[in-house]
Amino acid sequence: MQSFLKKSFGFFQKLSKVLMIPFTFLPVAAILLGLSYWLSSYQNIANILNLAGSTIISLLPLIFIVAITYNFNKDKDVTVVIVGLIAYIIFVLASNNFFNVDFSSHLLAILLAFLVNFLYSNFKKIRMPSFLAFFEGKIFAVILTILTVFTLAFPVGFIFKYLNALIIKIGLQLATHKIISPFIFGVTSRLLIPTGLHHIWHNLFWFDTLGVNAMPNYLLGIGNTNYLAGFYLIMVFALPAAGIAMIHTARPENKKRVRVLMTSAILSSMLFGITEPLEFSFLLVSPLLLIFHAIMTGIALVLLNLFNIIIGFSFSAGLFDFLIILKNPINDLSSLIYLIPLGLIYALIYYFVFRILINKLNLATPGRSEKTIDEPKDNNIIAKKMLAGLGGKDNIVSLDYCATRLRLVVKDNHLINETILKDNGALSVLQAGKNIQVVIGPQVSRLASLIDKKFIKTKFKMPMDGIYQDISKTPDEMFQAGLLGPGFVISPVNGNVYSPINGKISMIYPTKHAIGISSKKGFDILIHYGLETVDLKGEGFEVLVNVGDDVKIGDLIMKVDLDLLLMKQIETMSPVVFLQKENITILKQKDNVFTIEVS
């Protein structure tokens, strides 16, 4: 049972991340539609902007298809995405024409995407007799998947006709509710934040999975904002006030640094509605504050509905969203005057409740422990230490991220070191078996990129026999300054040059004194035998490989007449450069083979 729950969490963690993808397109639609509302007096321009924004919203089902088919396909096969798009269009056209009902819903797109992925993944494994071999594999999978979906369009369409009618009925009921269902939605939204599964919950109401479709309808100037407006009280007023309370309750020696951290988190919430840096400062140290926050969120939604304050958003309820869609014709601008006094009341409630509970219960919010808060570190250092906290690069099976958190699958969850992760900026670490979430904040994409690409561990063998030093010891100023990248300089004792890595020969200089090798791990090495050897115009150099050849560590790739260089009094110190990299760290050495980390 426990294994099933862990696998289920892994699936829903992935689904939650994938369902965020359509959200990334809504701000673009909001900007276009918002501009069309602001420029309504310029009719032609406004019409073009409105058409562009509306088109993005109308394509949301196709975006769901692409997101799910691609991300849930183990091989990341683009073919399945194309099949998914074609299958969806065929299904919708066939069903719509036969039953005269519009089936272009987000729920249908989500279900169909999983069906297509299942069919394609299984059909492509089928093998045919030799005379039909052309049709096996992907071709057979494409044909059978599309034909199966087309065939299913009629019986499923018949069932979905009534299901769709039920969804529309439920959606209309939910959309018009002002108290109970918005309250439940708001409370559940916040309670799910620690799990990272709140995006699935949001999808049910903000899109038309349950027929509510709150966000697209609002952007198009129809419907209402029963499930949207109240979040402005939380993100612009309440949580920033909680952040101020946490600054005021920090220990004196930590206040300055807590103020720096909290100011960034407060601005993220107020301007862009990104709340997790603030929420994870308290919700895991105090279930009481989490419950208070969840209930107050539910009340906020109800409160703004009762005051008939109509204002929505495209991504999250920050001031940036507010200004973009302020001119939406559905907005009742006269009712917005109540937003500020209600927000200030919420801010005062949050400030005093947080301040009192933090002090009375001695809660370990930022800056409350005796341990001083470290100064912010360089992003490269943070990424390196985060990688260590995750058990090293070899422990990571897959790494992805959403708006504020890293989402990983690891080989061994016992190698996860939460202390290291939290000491380097993680707000929280959530584990369910091998599925890991590390809550970072809005800077997560930058950090994910550094962790995923920056640090490469590889085997390396010095390409020449001799004494090696850091490249800064070379007399050549260009190499010495590291303008081409970090590396080593070798004083060779013979003329043999070997491949230092597994890779491919990418360049041979016309005068043969320099060879470039591309590693299979994504970096390039330049081996430059001697200094000013270009003047020899190839004399004394014999290259044993060609551009495009694959080479392995230790393969002999060049022979040099070292005696000739010495006779001509040419400097034999030979730079070995990791091109366009920043740093090399030797992790360990066994015999003449090094394990190095390239960044």
The residues carrying an active-site annotation are 402, 528
Q: What are the backbone dihedrals phi and psi of residue 414, each rounded to the nearest 5 degrees, phi first?
A: -70, -15
Alpha-carbon separation of residue 579 from 19, 145, 506, 518, 593 (angstroms) = 39, 46, 12, 10, 20
Angle made by CA atoms 412, 414, 419, in degrees to the nearest 5: 125
Name which of 219, 416, 403 is nearest 321 in CA terms.
Answer: 219
DSSP per residue, 8-52: HHHHHHHHHHHTTHHHHHHHHHHHHHHHHHHTTTSHHHHHHHHHH
Cβ atoms 148, 119 nearer than 8 A: yes
Q: What's the length of the chain? A: 599
Q: What are the backbone dihedrals phi and psi of residue 225, each rounded to the nearest 5 degrees, phi first?
A: -120, 35
C-alpha–C-alpha distance, residues 579 and 519, integer Å: 11
Residues 6+ apart with CB under 8 A from 598: 455, 456, 457, 458, 523, 578, 581, 583, 584
The radius of gyration computed from the CA coordinates of the chain, to the nearest angstrom, equals 30
Name which of 233, 264, 234, 236 is nearest 366 in CA terms.
Answer: 264
Element (H, E) at 277: helix 276-279
Would you state the torsion angle of the CA atoms of residues 502, 504, 508, 512, taken in this order, to the nearest 10 degrees?
30
